[in-house]
């Protein structure tokens, strides 16, 4: 058997291939090294946020269970958050990706319909540490990978996700692979193999939601990104029509009715989702600027966020005390209430999906944080006594048609109300840098001491600099 | 965050779940320890065949490329074929699965439409070595996993594969996970999580065919089997409707037109494929007895096999010498010739897809083996001079409607002909044990010396015994 048999038939051929994945690969290797200060700043914020999520996430049961097993699979140079011993870059990406998504407190990216940073950042950090890359290198690779994840996500969505694919795991693997390929400097042929190979690692259904396999999806997609980049670098080949070919991702992961769906009159073109893999202007506009990321202010179901913003705004504006409240009336899209199925939550996970519990926490504490979802907190009488005051008013309109309205009635008879359209953290209403730092400190509380937290904050503040990423990662062991 | 939040909402609930995956899990943990001597003998033959394929497969470029990278990811107790140093069970399964499928010389299993042993055996061997299991334990787990792979494959096919999913990678991962779960002795709740988790590792399109990612699919599915069993054992949870739920495998990996396809009048019920996950009689009939495995006699495209059997039969019956032949007329289904697109192959891979080349080899050597596809062999004038004598006669009928017919005309004017319906190696026309041993020796030639080959054969002869599998695996380092 000739050791060159694959090369001769595949690799030589692919150099001349002009198709979607070749075009994406070409852009990914030839995009500029600098995307401007605003794009870099946004990438830096994404890393600040996801690293904040990894710290408590690494202590979540899903992350602990994974690590109890995977830590036995060998040693290596990359940091596994919450573990002294380093591991290979793929295994560190697996563990850290699972940790990043375990609390569902990480960001979300609409064009790809994916928790994209929980996949891409762990992959880049682990690989960057193994290859002695700087934070600046990593942020640049992240922006490149995010751009291709956008094009792939726009090419498959909204129907890919709407049908039940977990895009965090499918599109996420591809974004991570391209980002990692960029980080190690693949040429355009190897980048094309890397991208095409990553479609074989795209998997995971939404029927895993509510189980530990959901955060595992982020971890395994992060691992896939590292694996595909390293295999492509070493010469592993892949098909070249795995996105748009007759047995490519669009046909198989949207459906055989792809063409119909594309032309459907009622088609919703949210976030540039056209169900076509655009190649005319791959790098423009830059997705991180045009779309941005949705950052979570609260560690709860996103359907609670507008109501919680409203409660906190009213508290701030009117100095409301929990003891003075008789009614909290929440008018919100029916879809939000459908997501919030627990009126009497029995544990922390259910409590995150309970409007009643979350609003009670906000009233009591003037904040909603990770520590409010411990078993003790969920059973606490101070929250329980407030929950009966919270009243649901489902409105038969979509999220974009109806802003959540909160009305608070006090014992004095006074009434205060506010409507919230864009929750704090959405791209058009971003958290301030200060609020992001607060989230970091909240996430580290009880896990790192204040000195360690401040050291981590300092290193994160310099993540866009030239120092090796290992300096920062060492603080997470 | 409560470390029990997932358990409380998922694991306690799943104990009472009565659905497809729960039923499959229950069968997989409660099936008998002994399936009878014929089933065990067939499983043993499958392992003999796939280990034979791994030996030269480990030197194939795809396997070498993978190993050049993955061997850096840590050490462990499990044998990586062709490598001194052991690795963790998942990484050994990845490497050995890729080697097993690299030459496309491994078996095929119709109900699942998958190269099932190339996935399941490497997973079981690697995990069995790490957990000090015997060959007998491994064969039993293989029969169990094969049974569930059959039920899942019958539930998705033929449309899953026909649409372009690579079932080796999708159904294979599930079969391997169940087999590994059985090997480590999961209870039915953990087995259900293991099975459901493995759907997240089901991926890979046929658009990867012809590239190194195709054998990688077998490796990554084998790795997934080990990973899912170990994670489920440690307490990782998964959804419980990932096969048949609204966002389960049937909906997402067959298509939204699933119901239509199921009821289609022209539906072909090959190999029990009903597009329904049967739960009435999960363990009966035993798939390894009722369906069997298709074993490859030649390391070439399956579409050449009936013609090659015919040529070798005529040579044997009439003592034909290559020099005496003026014409070889091959009448075969048009679909076979369509697969054999290379009339003038340039390299070993193309030569395996060339009827002209393969028939010339058979005429010249009275055999067709791995060594006939080296660059030198492909260029050899002894084959080249015979190729013009081979004539194609495509017949517009399907494989089941038309038996391949070979007519050989000699310089003397004599004509001999034969029709071949079932190629040697198909379940209804199996290789004899002696022919399987010949295949093993052919596969080891030039790689292991004759002493090492005989030691391997001896260990394989005892693979159904109580000795730790490590004894056999040590011979493959």
* pLDDT, tens digit, 9 for 90 and up, residues B291-315: 999 999 999 999 999 999 999 999 9
Separation in Å, CA of A106 to nearest CA in chain B: 16
d(CA A332, CA A306): 9
Cα B19-B20-B22 angle, rounded to 5 deg: 65
d(CA A57, CA A98): 8
A252 contacts in chain B (CB < 8 Å): 163-165, 205, 253
A255 contacts in chain B (CB < 8 Å): 255-257
Residue A140 token pair? 């640049």
Report CA dihedral (A12, A15, A20, A21) to the nearest 10 degrees. Answer: 70
Give yes or no for a cis peptide into A158 (omega within 30° of 0).
yes
Residue A354 token pair? 């309970």
Separation in Å, CA of B299 to nearest CA in chain A: 10
Kindly report the number of other CB atoms within 10 A of residue B471's CB atom.
15
Closest-CA residue of chain B to A375: B2
pLDDT at B449: 96
d(CA A388, CA A381): 12
CATH superfamily of B302-420: 2-methylcitrate dehydratase PrpD (3.30.1330.120)
B206 contacts in chain A (CB < 8 Å): 247
Mean pLDDT computed over B29-39: 94
d(CA B129, CA B123): 10
Residue B9 has pLDDT above 60, yes or no: no
pLDDT at B271: 86
pLDDT at A264: 75
Residue B13 has pLDDT above 70, yes or no: no
CA-nearest of B369, B94, B56, B359 to B216 is B94
For the four alpha carbons of A458, A178, A87 and A131, in that order, the dihedral sign comes to negative
pLDDT at B16: 61
The mean-pLDDT minimum among A45-54, A116-125, B6-15, B345-354 falls in B6-15
Secondary structure (3-state) at A52:
helix
pLDDT at A270: 74
d(CA A8, CA B350): 10
d(CA B123, CA B229): 10
* pLDDT, tens digit, 9 for 90 and up, residues A366-404: 999 999 999 999 999 999 999 999 999 999 999 889 999
Residue B385 token pair? 């001079």
Mean pLDDT computed over B32-41: 94
For residue A416, list its beta bridge partners.
Answer: A408
- Check if the beta carbon of residue B111 is closer than 8 Å to that of residue B96: no
Q: Count of residues for chain B?
A: 477
Q: What is the ipTM of this complex?
A: 0.94
B252 contacts in chain A (CB < 8 Å): 163-165, 205, 253
pLDDT at B460: 98
DSSP assignment of B168-214: HHHHHHHHHHHHHHHHHT--HHHHHHHHHHHGGG---BGGGTTSTHH
Residue B358 token pair? 């393969």
Burial class (CB in 10 A: 0-12, 13-18, 19+), A340: buried
Same fold, A5-290 and A302-420: no
CA-nearest of B212, B249, B243, B114 to B172 is B114
CA distances from B228 to A69, A265, A279, A289 (A): 11, 43, 38, 39
* pLDDT, tens digit, 9 for 90 and up, residues A276-303: 999 999 999 999 999 999 999 999 999 9
Residue position matching structure tokens 């000739």:
A2
Per-chain mean pLDDT for chain B:
94
Residue B2 has pLDDT above 90, yes or no: no
Burial track A89-119 (b if 16+ CB lie within 10 A, e otherwise)? bbbbbbbbbbbbbbbbbbbbbbbbbbbbbbb
Contact A90 B75 (CB under 8 A): no
B74 contacts in chain A (CB < 8 Å): 73-76, 87-88, 91
pLDDT at A111: 94
Separation in Å, CA of A255 to nearest CA in chain B: 6
Query: Which of B177, B213, B249 to mutate against chain A (most A CBs within 10 Å)?
Result: B213
CA distances from B160 to A118, A252, B233 (A): 31, 9, 30
Secondary structure (3-state) at B267:
coil
d(CA B370, CA A104): 52
pLDDT in tens, chain A (477 residues): 333 334 434 444 455 668 999 999 999 999 988 999 999 999 999 999 999 999 999 999 999 999 999 999 999 999 999 999 999 999 999 999 999 999 999 999 999 999 999 999 999 999 999 999 999 999 999 999 999 999 999 999 989 999 999 999 999 999 999 999 999 999 999 999 999 999 999 999 999 988 999 999 999 999 999 999 999 999 999 999 999 999 999 999 999 999 999 887 455 667 889 899 999 999 999 999 999 999 999 999 999 999 999 999 999 999 999 999 999 999 999 999 998 989 999 998 899 999 999 999 999 999 999 999 999 999 999 999 999 999 999 999 998 899 999 999 999 999 999 999 999 999 899 999 999 999 999 999 999 999 999 999 999 999 999 999 999 999 999
pLDDT at B264: 75
- Check if the beta carbon of residue B23 is closer than 8 Å to that of residue B178: no
Residues 6+ apart with CB under 8 A from B215: B57, B60, B62, B63, B97, B98, B99, B100, B101, B102, B104
d(CA B248, CA B242): 4
- Long-range CB contacts (within 8 A, 24+) of B372-381: B373/A1, B373/A2, B373/B299, B373/B300, B373/B348, B373/B349, B374/A1, B374/A2, B374/B348, B375/A2, B375/A4, B375/B347, B375/B348, B377/B348, B377/B351, B378/A2, B378/B345, B378/B346, B378/B347, B378/B348, B378/B350, B378/B351
pLDDT at A4: 38
Residue B374 token pair? 């080296």
- Per-domain boundaries in chain B: 5-290, 302-420
Residues 6+ apart with CB under 8 A from B381: none
Give the CATH architecture of domain A5-290. Answer: Orthogonal Bundle (1.10)
Per-chain mean pLDDT for chain A:
94
């Amino acid at each position: 058997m000739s050791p060159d048999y694959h090369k001769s038939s595949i690799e030589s051929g692919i150099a001349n291939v002009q198709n979607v994945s070749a075009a994406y690969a070409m852009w990914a290797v030839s995009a500029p090294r600098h995307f401007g200060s605003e794009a870099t700043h946004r990438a830096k914020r994404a890393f600040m946020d996801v690293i904040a999520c990894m710290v408590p996430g690494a202590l979540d049961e899903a992350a602990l269970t994974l690590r109890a097993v995977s830590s036995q699979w060998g040693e290596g140079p990359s940091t596994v958050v919450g573990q002294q011993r380093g591991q290979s870059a793929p295994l560190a990406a697996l563990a850290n990706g699972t940790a990043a998504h375990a609390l569902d407190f990480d960001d979300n990216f609409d064009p790809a319909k994916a928790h994209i940073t929980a996949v891409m950042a762990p992959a880049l950090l682990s690989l960057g540490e193994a290859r002695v890359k700087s934070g600046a290198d990593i942020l640049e690779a992240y922006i490149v990978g995010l751009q291709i994840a956008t094009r792939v996500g726009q090419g498959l969505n909204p129907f890919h996700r709407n049908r039940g694919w977990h895009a965090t795991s499918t599109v996420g693997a591809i974004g991570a692979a391209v980002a990692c390929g960029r980080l190690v400097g693949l040429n355009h042929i190897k980048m094309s193999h890397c991208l095409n190979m990553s479609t074989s690692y795209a998997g995971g259904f939404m029927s895993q939601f509510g189980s530990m396999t959901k955060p595992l999806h982020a971890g395994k997609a992060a691992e896939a990104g590292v694996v595909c980049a390293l295999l492509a670098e070493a010469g592993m080949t892949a098909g070249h029509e795995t996105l748009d070919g007759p047995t490519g991702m669009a046909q198989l992961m949207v459906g055989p009715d792809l063409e119909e769906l594309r032309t459907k009159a009622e088609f919703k073109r949210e976030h540039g989702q056209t169900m076509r893999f655009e190649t005319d202007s791959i790098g423009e506009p830059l997705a991180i600027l045009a779309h941005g990321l949705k950052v979570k202010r609260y560690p709860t179901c996103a359907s609670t966020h507008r109501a919680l913003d409203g409660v906190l705004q009213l508290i701030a504006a009117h100095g409301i005390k929990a003891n003075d409240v008789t009614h909290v009336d929440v008018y919100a899209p029916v879809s939000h209430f459908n997501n919030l199925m627990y009126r009497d939550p029995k544990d922390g996970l259910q409590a995150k999906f309970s409007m009643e519990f979350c609003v009670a926490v906000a009233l009591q504490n003037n904040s909603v944080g990770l520590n409010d979802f411990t078993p003790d907190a969920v059973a606490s009488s101070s929250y329980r006594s407030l929950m009966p005051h919270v009243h649901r008013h489902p409105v038969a309109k979509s999220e974009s048609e109806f802003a959540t309205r909160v009305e608070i009635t006090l014992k004095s008879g006074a009434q205060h109300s506010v409507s919230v359209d864009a929750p704090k953290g959405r791209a058009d209403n971003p958290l301030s840098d200060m609020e992001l730092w607060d989230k970091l400190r909240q996430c580290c509380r009880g896990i790192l001491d204040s000195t360690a937290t401040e050291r981590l904050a300092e290193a994160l503040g310099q993540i866009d600099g030239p120092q090796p990423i290992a300096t920062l990662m060492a603080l997470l062991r």
